[in-house]
Amino acid sequence: MKRLVWISIVTGMGLTSCIDEVNLRTEGEETRIVVDAWISNDPEMSYVKVYESSPFVSADFHIPFEDVPLSGVWVEKQDGFATSFRAPYPEQPGVTVYKPFEEYDIEPGDRFRLNVILANGNHIQSDWQQVYQPARSIEFDYEMSFQTVFIPTWNGEPFAQQREFYDFKARVEKANSQADHNYYVKAMGIEQIYTSSMSEFCTCTCYMTYPNLNYSLTAVNSTSPASTYTVPMGSMTAGRNTRFYLKADIYSVSDQAAGYLSSIGVQQTNTGSIFDPMPFKISGNLKNLDNPDEEILGQFFTAYHTYHDEMINRASLFLENRDKNIKIVYPEAVTGSCQEAYPDADIVAPIPFRMH
């Protein structure tokens, strides 16, 4: 039986299920305004989106969101400086992404506040948000694990086989071991893949990009007195002797923002069973100054960004782990292009592979 419930969460971070308040939609119920807004020293994580919530039907993750027209968007700094955000030109389909129009400075200790003016003149405003200290340093660690994979055969019947993987972990050192630190962590990877061919002119090397390597929203609430801690980052096949580019982006956020992100992370973690918690509304740090009784969903984040990246040579790791009897993954046979076997891969070497 399908379930119809409210869902209205940050669009850039995924939507699934969780616990707490559940609002069944009725014929006369109105949608809610949702705000997804960030300001950061990372241009990719400096944007504002405003849209209307949408009903969620279980097993349907392609939810159409209604764009909300705006007459003004800006972020003010507590020293009085303001940065306006503008819509792209020409207009693009889907939810409008407003980006900073002027240059701005952001440093740990600064405080910012979001302002959004709706087409009807209503003023939506966030609380003041502080920029927190970034991680002092980030390093990668690897551990070997075993996973069951299904190998296709000539007759189309796959069979289960145990394969070796390297599990990534980011070892993060706090800026101040005596203080609590909260982080939003993103992991991405690019895998180099070889194929084989009898053709002299084969384009046999491909590059597969994994933009969300850890497959979930990862928010870290660090209340431990330890100066370092580890964050799971995803995994890569151990049996390929090609290179693998790994990057971790870590954004320092407030304790309240980390709690908000953790709530979304819980919604993303489900098993597909009837016992999964249902989606619910998440209110953040926003209010409608002209209509205080209106519930505004979403969050305005301040984040200071730092990152660590590394080009991993799996041939070297293979030699270091010769005693583990790692099974070699042999290249797929193709006619003239690796995209025959990996249609989603790119044949042009990405920048990290051209630089290393």
* Residue 311: both structure tokens together: 């080009």
Is the pLDDT at 157 greater than 80? The verdict is: no
The runs of H, that is alpha helices, within the chain are 255-268, 314-320, 351-355
| pLDDT at residue number 274 | 56
Q: How far is CA 332 from the centre of its chain?
A: 31
| pLDDT at residue number 56 | 57
Cβ(70)–Cβ(86) below 8 Å: no
Q: Which residues pair with 112 in a beta bridge?
A: 77, 129
Nearest to 346 by CA among 228, 245, 220, 233: 245
Q: Is 327 helix (H, G, I), strand (E, B) or coil?
A: coil
Cβ(279)–Cβ(17) below 8 Å: yes
Q: Is 261 helix (H, G, I), strand (E, B) or coil?
A: helix
Split at pLDDT 50, 70, 90, the class of 2 is very low
| pLDDT at residue number 336 | 94
| pLDDT at residue number 194 | 96
- The amino acid occupying position 275 is F
Phi, psi of 56, deg, nearest 5? -115, 125
Split at pLDDT 50, 70, 90, the class of 8 is very low
- The amino acid occupying position 51 is Y
| pLDDT at residue number 188 | 94
Alpha-carbon span 339 to 171, nearest angstrom:
35
pLDDT (average), residues 334-347: 96
Taking only the tens place, the pLDDT of each residue in 257-275 is 888 888 777 766 655 555 5
| pLDDT at residue number 28 | 43
- In this structure, the number of other CB atoms found within 10 A of the CB of residue 146 comes to 10
Q: Say which DSSP state 92 is in.
A: -
Split at pLDDT 50, 70, 90, the class of 277 is low
* Residue 40: both structure tokens together: 């950061």
Q: Is 216 helix (H, G, I), strand (E, B) or coil?
A: coil
* Residue 199: both structure tokens together: 């053709």
| pLDDT at residue number 19 | 40
Cβ(336)–Cβ(200) below 8 Å: no
- The amino acid occupying position 123 is H
Is the pLDDT at 220 greater than 70? The verdict is: yes
Is the pLDDT at 278 greater than 70? The verdict is: no
* DSSP letter string, 265-288: HHHH---SSTTSPPP---B-SEEE
% of the chain at pLDDT higher than 70: 81
Taking only the tens place, the pLDDT of each residue in 286-338 is 999 999 999 999 999 999 999 999 999 998 988 888 888 888 888 999 999 99
Phi, psi of 64, deg, nearest 5? -80, 130
Q: Say which DSSP state 41 is in.
A: S
Total residue count of the chain as it appears in this document:
356
**Higher pLDDT, residue 17 or 123:** 123
Is the pLDDT at 102 greater than 50? The verdict is: yes
% of the chain at pLDDT higher than 90: 49
Split at pLDDT 50, 70, 90, the class of 128 is very high
Nearest to 298 by CA among 70, 27, 38: 38
Cβ(238)–Cβ(144) below 8 Å: yes
* Residue 116: both structure tokens together: 């959004």
What is the chain's mean pLDDT, rounded?
83
